[in-house]
A = this chain, B = another copy of it.
């Protein structure tokens, strides 16, 4: 027999949650349990704040994704926003909108995934909110980070001539989603396929490039940064627009994940186009002035398990273009994922 969240009641659920939250660090003056949390700002630094949500039926399906993965991802997408600003996480708020008949095991799983990543990121959960949902699970997270004033990484600091670098590989998350669409929750068809298992993991449990963002911010080796939540094409367009420049990307240089390359080939799609349009990779896109290139690359090399690839540059001339083999024959780059 299973127990529902309703059976525990709001106070019971809150007590269950509080029992699992580790003692907060010293800068948390007042954690979960009052009308609001009280946090000491980081001395001499600015607050960097962001909010992002995971909605059942839109961003995840309960029959595909384990609750633990959904809890992880809801936090990871927020940490990715902090990473792209060069901010270190400092405090988290969690607003859960849950169907009253939700199985308690799902609640526990969500919290498992959320709290494990929170601990790993050194980000204490200081407060939140529980509400009933007449329909989908909604996981709304607010992340508060901090960074020194002159070390905040924005989208708008890029200049024509800056080189564009992207971390990791692209298209894996889009491939993971495509695999879930084909096979549903059934992991058997991909069990022996390392690349495809990796794609599903990237889609369901993305990694925020926190260390990378924070270190590049501190070194001031990049002029601008954006995280690739909605795909590379979208990220390049946003960074260029905010910086008041154009951009050129050399498609042959785009680091496509091997699983994505295979998926695109099987589906008869251009692998680079697929990787450019596919969202949710949560890699970071940096603009780097040529004189900072060595310092930037040295910084990235010191971050464990992180690769970086130069894929293009910002330009004086407006628009965002693909330049095949860097030969100057330009075609417009498509847009990324639209949430509406």
Q: Which residues of B contact A322 (CB under 8 A)?
A: none
Assess the A134–B56 pair: CB atoms within 8 A: yes
**Interface of chain A residues 161 through 177 with chain B (CB within 8 A):** none
**Interface of chain A residues 128 through 180 with chain B (CB within 8 A):** 128-136, 138, 140, 142-145, 147, 149, 152, 154-156
Q: A39-B49, A126-B49 are in contact. Are A33 and B242 (CB under 8 A)?
A: yes
Chain B residue nearest to A234 in the complex (CB): B11
Q: Which residues of B contact A155 (CB under 8 A)?
A: 33-35
Q: A93 CB to closest chain B CB, in angstroms?
A: 4
Query: Hey, what's the 0/1 contact readout for A82-93 against B, CB within 8 Å counting as 1?
Result: 101101000101
**Interface of chain A residues 26 through 44 with chain B (CB within 8 A):** 29-30, 33-41
Q: Is residue A95 within 8 Å, beta carbon to beta carbon, of the partner chain?
A: yes
Q: A9-B338, A41-B41 are in contact. Are A145 and B36 (CB under 8 A)?
A: yes
Assess the B35–A138 pair: CB atoms within 8 A: no
Each complex incorporates copies of this chain amounting to: 2
Bound complex: CA A282 to CA B283 (Å):
43
Assess the A46–B34 pair: CB atoms within 8 A: no
Bound complex: CA A138 to CA B56 (Å):
13
Q: Is residue A112 within 8 Å, beta carbon to beta carbon, of the partner chain?
A: no
Interface residues of chain A, those whose CB is within 8 Å of chain B, are 5-6, 8-11, 13, 29-30, 33-41, 46-53, 55-59, 81-82, 84-85, 87, 91, 93-95, 97-98, 100, 126-136, 138, 140, 142-145, 147, 149, 152, 154-156, 226-227, 242, 338-340
20 of the cross-chain contacts (CB-CB < 8 Å) are A5-B340, A8-B340, A9-B340, A10-B338, A34-B155, A35-B85, A36-B48, A38-B48, A38-B152, A41-B46, A47-B144, A49-B127, A52-B95, A53-B95, A55-B132, A57-B134, A130-B340, A133-B138, A138-B140, A142-B142
Extra pairs beyond A36-B85, A53-B97, A132-B339 (17, CB < 8 Å):
A5-B340, A9-B340, A30-B152, A35-B85, A36-B49, A38-B46, A38-B85, A41-B47, A47-B91, A49-B142, A51-B94, A52-B95, A52-B129, A57-B135, A97-B138, A130-B339, A136-B136
